[in-house]
Structure formats: C-alpha cells, structure tokens
A and B are shown apart, each in its own frame.
Chain A
Amino acid sequence: MSTVQASTALPATTGPWAHLDAHGTTQLNVAVATADGALATVLPRGSHLPSCGELLLTTSGHQEQKLRLVLLLGLRPMASACRVLGTLDVPVEPEERGLAQVSLSVCASAGQLCAVAHNVRSGARVFWVFDEAAAEAAAEVAADGAGATGRGSGLPMPWRFGNCYAEARHPGVVVAGRYLPLPHERGVAMPHGADGAWDGEVVPSATAAKVRPASQYLRWPHSLP
C-alpha cells in the first residue's frame, strides 16, 4: 500500500463540492479519464452526500506496468473539458491488455473527496485524498500532455465482461470486493462455425450436447419456436 497524496479535510467552500444544489446533491460528475479521451463516471451528478461509487477498470495497452487514473470533475463528455482533481498511478502486472483489474472507489462527503484504487489480483492499494494545491499541479501536468491518450499512457478503460480488448480470457472476476478465480476449461473444441463464440453468445450445438432435451432441436431445427 502507498499513499500518493494526503491532506486534511477541506471546508466545503474550498473543496470540490462548492457547487451543491439546493437539495445538497452534487451538480457535477466525478469521473476518470479513459484511454479514448472520454470519461468513465464513478460518482454521477445528483448524488446525495455522503456518497460512494465504484468502477472496475482495466489496461488499454499491452504490457502496461501501471494504470494512470486521472480523476476529473465535470459534465462534458470529453476528459479534456473537465477539471482535473488528481492522479493516481496504480502498478499492475505486465500482461495482455484488458486482463488487469483495478477497482476504483470514490467517496465524497461535504468537505472531502477521497479515493482508493485496488489492484484486485495483487491486493495493492493506492489511497488518494483531494487537495486543492495538488489538484492544480495535476491539472498543469495534464495540460502539458502527460495525460495524452494512446499506448503507453497508462490510461484505463472500464473493465467489462467478455473482454473485448484481448484474445485471452479473464481468469476471474471481482464481486463484492472479492476476487473470484474462475478456472476455465482448457482445450474445449468448439463446433464447426463457432469461431469467436467466446463473446458471450450461446452456441446451440455446444450447449445442446450438455442439455439433453435440447438435442431434439438440433435434429429437427424446424421445431424451434
């Protein structure tokens, strides 16, 4: 574990939540910049404080050694149009893109904004607490191009089931804060014409072999409703 930046709780008037609406809800999204220059929202606008959000992220490039999480505040869809709150660098194991899993949790109260990035496979955690001065410094770094997108930038993409980014299959998933390894079957021969069937779609001829009554539909396809 390591602490990147830390500060004491900020007064609401100087913190990121100076713009609450009359109902005490946030008016801007808290998001993380993604490798395509867009945002992945962690805490949506309209959240009642205190509030927490969580997002599972992954690498966008092969053999990345870190995931650079640029926290943003704003409403516009592009990262470059939002205010930079801070940056966390989370070390990840170099491997094919899309396989690393980093869970980002953001918690906000009226006077404080903090985040924890958790590499769910290694267990490493990086903590971050909003600091006005640090945010300004991070914004300057971002303006200088350090937050540029593309391979090697370390910017993440939201993790998704099906892993459209990589040929390899995920070795497990995170649920309820716990990493659940799910060993896959190896050497399973898919039926002819079922190439690319690992995208989450059912291959009828594959499943029917395991589901006895369904075999009738393969024998008499016209009986499908």
Chain B
Amino acid sequence: MWPASYLLARCLAAPPLEIAMRGAAVIELGAGCGLPGLASWACGARRVVLTDLPENLPRLDAIIDANGADDASGRLRVSTAALDWCHPLPAALMQPWDFVVAADAVFWPALFAPLLDTIDALSQCGRDGVRAGVGTRVLLASTDRGRAAAFAAAAAVAGWTLEERHVDAGDARTSVCELVRQSGNKSS
C-alpha cells in the first residue's frame, strides 16, 4: 500500500466526494490492497468492484474477507474482478460506473495508453448498456516520480485533462487528480 492509496481513500471519504459516494457504483483499477475501493464502500457506495491482474485477486479477496465486505449475504457490496488493461474490457464490467478510481497507476509509461483506453471504455458504459459517456468521474491519485508530466501529455492526447483536487499536506508530490474530458471531445 502506498501513500497515494491512503490519500485517495481519505479524499473519497471527505466532503464533497463523501456524499457523492453514497449509492454510487465504483470500480478501482490496479487495486493492490483496494483501500480506495474499500473507502468507497465505507462511505456507502452501492457497488464496489476491485480490479487487478488475476494473480493479485486472492490477496484482494482476503482483504475483503477481513473487512466483512463480501457480498455473499447479498447485502454488502464489494467484489473483485480480473482486469488487465492491455486486454479488452470484460463484458461483466461493461456497466455504468459513477466513479473510476486508481491509486499509483501511472508509474510505467508503457501502461499510460492502456490505462487511458480502459478508463475511456469504462466511462462510456451507459446506464442502459449504451455507450453514453455520461456521469462517470475518474479520480487518480499518484506520487509524482518524474512521470506526471508524461502522463498528463498522454492524457491530453487521449482527450482528457487532469485537474488537481487534493494534495497531500505531508508530501506535495502526492496528489489526487480528476480526469476530465476535454470539452468537445465526447468519446474516442
């Protein structure tokens, strides 16, 4: 678990996002320990899916078990799913998402384009299964290790703008940004 994960979790659990989390459908990319997703759940998200590479899912399942957040009872709302950004989006994840969140997901430049493609696909899954691109908010937290500018440039090429939302008071390199579609760019 890295500081960006903790910062994003705190950001999701604080106003104004805390209120928006209630009843929301949230998907976390490259979840790792899944803290931001669990924070969404703690804030009252209706459905949370923690995604990562298949080999990382057992750990995520164990963490969900430890938190009593599995959905076996049909009442709780956290689950896991395998998601490789370099592969097409699984059909099971083609659902409307209110929030796409990811922490420290922008370290390797080779993954910038696959990550942005995945976010684009997830944000365009409409509420009726139609690609609508309405209402999905994308929040990324990261610690700048010298690649933030390159990621911002890649995002701009893909039609996104990074807007800073929160900066860690203890480490200015760690921040939460919202990925916002550039005006006039409806979809790719």
Binding site for B on A (CB under 8 A): 160-162, 173, 175-178, 180-185, 200, 202, 204, 207-208, 210-214, 216-217, 224-225
Residues of A within 8 A of B35 (CB): 173, 175, 180, 182
Q: Closest chain A residue to B68 by CB distance?
A: A181
Write the nearest CB–CB distance from A55 to chain B, whole angstroms: 12
* A181 surroundings in chain B (CB, below 8 A): 63, 66-67
| Interface pick from B90-98, B132-140, B142-150, B177-185 | B142-150
In the complex, residue of chain A having the shortest beta-carbon distance to the beta carbon of B39: A175
A183, A202, A204: the one within 8 Å of B63 (CB): A183
Q: Point out the residue from B6, B43, B56 that lies within 8 Å of A176, measured CB to CB.
A: B43
Contact of B42 among A176, A183, A184, A213 (CB under 8 A): A176
* Chain B residues whose CB sits within 8 angstroms of the CB of A162 once the complex forms: 3
Most buried by A among B56, B66, B67, B108: B108
How many A-B pairs with Cβ below 8 Å? 78
Verify B3–A200 contact, CB threshold 8 A. Answer: yes
Q: Given the complex of chains A and B, what is the CA–CA distance between A162 and B2 in angstroms?
A: 8
Please, which residue of chain A has its CB at the minimum distance from the CB of B109?
A225
Chain B: minimal CB distance from A188 (Å):
11
Tell me how far the C-beta of B54 lies from the nearest C-beta in chain A, rounded to whole angstroms. Answer: 11
Interchain CB contact (< 8 A) of A210 among B2, B53, B66: B53
Let me know if B77 is at the binding interface, CB within 8 A: no
Residues of B contacting A180 in the complex (Cβ-Cβ under 8 angstroms): 35, 38-39, 42, 67
Taken together as a complex, chains A and B put the C-alpha atoms of A178 and B38 apart, in Å, by: 10
Could you list some 18 contacts between A and B, CB below 8 A? A162-B3, A173-B6, A173-B9, A175-B9, A175-B35, A176-B42, A182-B35, A183-B62, A183-B66, A185-B59, A200-B2, A202-B104, A207-B108, A212-B86, A213-B86, A214-B108, A216-B110, A224-B109
Please tell me which one of the listed residues A161, A177, A204, A213 contacts residue B6 in the complex, with CB atoms under 8 A apart: A161
Question: Which chain A residue has the least Cβ–Cβ distance from B21?
Answer: A176
Seen from chain B, the residues whose Cβ lies within 8 Å of a Cβ on chain A are: 1-3, 6-7, 9-10, 12-13, 18, 33, 35, 38-39, 42-43, 53, 55-56, 59, 62-63, 66-67, 86, 104, 107-111, 114, 143, 145, 147, 150, 170
Measured CB to CB, the closest approach of chain A to B105, in angstroms, equals 10
- Residues of chain A lying within 8 A (CB to CB) of residue B53: 210
With a cutoff of 8 Å between Cβ atoms, the chain A residues found around residue B67 in the complex are 180-181
What are the residues of chain B within 8 A of A178 when measuring CB–CB? 42
Q: Are B55 and A214 in contact (CB under 8 A)?
A: no
Note all chain A residues with C-beta closer than 8 A to B18.
176
By a CB distance below 8 angstroms, the chain B residues around A217 are: 108, 110
In the bound complex, residues from chain B placing their C-beta under 8 Å from that of A202 are: 2, 104, 107, 143, 145
A208 to B107, CA, bound (A): 10
Task: Provide the residues of chain B in CB contact with A160, threshold 8 Å.
Answer: 170
**Pairwise interchain contact B55-A210, C-beta atoms closer than 8 A:** yes
Whether A176 pairs with B55 at a CB distance below 8 angstroms is no
Q: Using A182-B35, A212-B86 as known contacts, say yes or no to A161 and B3 having CB atoms under 8 A apart.
A: yes
Q: Which residue of A lies closest to B149 (CB)?
A: A225
List, in ascending order, chain B residues with CB within 8 A of A182's CB. Answer: 1, 33, 35, 63, 66
B111 contacts A175, C-beta separation under 8 Å: no
- Nearest chain B CB to A186 CB, angstrom units: 11
Q: A175-B10, A175-B38 known; A213 and B108 CB under 8 Å?
A: yes
Other A-B contacts than A181-B63, A214-B111, 4 sampled, CB-CB below 8 A, are: A182-B1, A202-B2, A213-B114, A216-B110
